[in-house]
Amino acid sequence: MINKRINSDRIFNPILNNHKRINLNNKNKYENISSCKCNLTCSCNGNCGKSCKCTKFYAEDDDKLVFFNDDSYAVYRLGEWRNKYKLNLLGIDNEIPATQITKNQSLNIIDEIRKYNFNFKGFRINGMVGLAIRFNGLQNEDVSELIDTEEKEYYNIKNELNKLKLENPSDFIEINNEKFLIYKLKENCHGAILSKPVNEFTRKYSTVYLSKIKLSGI
Contact 90, 108 (CB under 8 A): no
Q: What is the pLDDT of residue 200?
A: 87
Residue 31, pLDDT score: 36
pLDDT of residue 156: 98
pLDDT digits (tens, 9 = 90+) for 183-214: 998 877 777 778 889 988 888 887 544 344 44
Longest dimension (CA), the chain: 53
pLDDT of residue 154: 98
* Residue 109 resides in a domain: yes
For the chain, the domain total comes to 1
Question: Residue 61: what pLDDT?
Answer: 59
Is 142 domain-assigned?
Answer: yes
Q: What is the CA radius of gyration of the chain?
A: 17
Instruction: Name the stretches of the chain with pLDDT < 50.
Output: 1-41, 43, 45-47, 49-58, 208-218
Does 218 map to a domain?
Answer: no
Give the per-residue pLDDT at 135: 82
Q: How far apart are CA 48 and CA 195, in angstroms?
A: 10
Domain that holds residue 132: 24-211
- The answer as to whether 217 is a domain residue is no
pTM of the full predicted structure? 0.70
